[in-house]
Amino acid sequence: MGKKVLITGATGMIGGLILELAIQSDEIESVVSIVRRDSGKVHPKLLEIKIPDFSNPDASASFWNSIDIVYYCQGVYTGSVGREEFQKITVDYPDTLANILIQKNHDLVFCLLSGAGADRTEKSRMMFASDKGRIENKLSQKGFKRFHSFRPAYIYPVEPREEPNLSYSLFRFLYPVIKRLGKNSSIPSTTLAATMFQVGLRGSEKEILENIDILNLSEVILKNSNP
């Protein structure tokens, strides 16, 4: 029997790529996609649930049941919202969702799209680092079968997109240079999504996967898929 997965942030870059991988995979039986706005996507495997505000979702809804793998990709760009809203989206929303899911099934895998620089001491003066570290700590302590946090550096959009701000436009322009700085500097969007997807299915010995870990693991996955 195939797996049932839940994805958040499927209207975003990485969540959208993972959604496509899940739909195309013979190992996935069904996909629940929780979105804040309609995606317009239709597929026999897909159940799209619109929840504009994650603060108080209906915990009694049947779609929460029997989830095997969670890919939590919902987020917001630093600077696009205020401090309180950033914390709500980065910490409170995934924590609320995790609390619902752990009551339904302890035997599930939770994959979080975090970010490079996440600070598990929660003492960083940088809002991004402290909040990302805080939610990593919270999720790690829930008691899931497995928890994995992915900390990519600059994510290069393989598919062209409208960049969210000037900084990302500059990063995209400079990507050939950034890429040469080493395995902790950047990662292609498709590589990140594919590795997250496979770790959800097959696991990793590491709970925290830094940019270099994701790239190294992607090479192993590619090698194993092409013996």
| SS3 category, 114 | coil
- Amino acid 93 reads Y
Q: Average model confidence (pLDDT) for the chain?
A: 90
pLDDT band of 113, cuts 50, 70, 90: very high
The angle at the Cα of 13, spanning 70 to 209, to the nearest 5 degrees, equals 55
Q: What are the structural domains, with CATH classification, of the chain? A: 3-225 (3.40.50.720)
pLDDT higher at 114 or 38 = 114
Q: Do the Cβ atoms of 149 and 139 come closer than 8 Å?
A: yes
Give the model confidence (pLDDT) of 150-202 as tens digits. 999 999 888 877 766 667 667 566 666 677 777 888 899 999 999 999 999 99
User: How far is 77 from 143, CA to CA, in rounded Å?
Assistant: 29
Tokens 């996935």 found at:
28
* Segment holding 76, helix H or strand E: none
Half-sphere exposure of 94 (CA within 13 A, CB side): 33
Q: Supply the pLDDT for residue 83.
A: 86
What pLDDT, on the 0 to 100 scale, is given for residue 1?
77
